[in-house]
């Protein structure tokens, strides 16, 4: 991941958290929405962050490819006004990325359960 991507994510997270405080984030499944609930792991929410271009070390062409970056979190029912960060992960765009996303969401769910002492 390029260092500039980390700076972009930090700025994007800051901006979206401020928007969330004002009740301005959108919830839903489209790319235009900010947050969505993961169907395969309903306790997990996904915050969509800015895309970046990165080179996969296993890719023989060595060309940069677009990556969608997601922050996975939950809102623990017994911890009011708290968000529990479960992961910051990137995935390929398109159908291939949906499989990656499901794996990421399930890992995030498992982390939430571990936090709750159910792991």
Q: List the domain range (segments joined by +) for residue 86.
A: 3-115
pLDDT in tens, the chain (119 residues): 555 566 688 899 899 989 988 989 999 998 899 999 999 999 999 999 988 887 766 777 878 888 899 999 999 888 888 899 999 999 988 898 999 999 999 999 999 999 988 65
Strand order in the sheet with 84-91: 35-37, 45-54, 65-74, 84-91
Residues 6+ positions from 32 with CB-CB distance below 8 Å: 26
| CA nearest neighbour of 66 among 40, 102, 96 | 96
What is the count of structural domains for the chain? 1
- Predicted TM-score (pTM) of this structure: 0.84
């Amino acid at each position: 991941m390029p260092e500039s991507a980390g700076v972009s994510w930090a700025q994007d997270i800051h901006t979206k958290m401020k928007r969330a405080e004002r009740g301005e984030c959108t919830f839903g499944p489209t790319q235009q929405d900010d947050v969505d609930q993961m169907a395969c792991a309903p306790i997990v929410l996904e915050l969509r962050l800015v895309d970046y271009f990165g080179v996969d070390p296993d890719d023989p062409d060595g060309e940069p490819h677009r990556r969608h970056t997601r922050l996975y979190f939950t809102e623990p029912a017994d911890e009011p006004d708290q968000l529990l960060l479960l992961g910051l992960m990137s995935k390929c765009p398109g159908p291939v990325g949906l499989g990656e996303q499901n794996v990421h969401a399930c890992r995030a769910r498992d982390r939430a359960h571990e936090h709750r002492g159910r792991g």
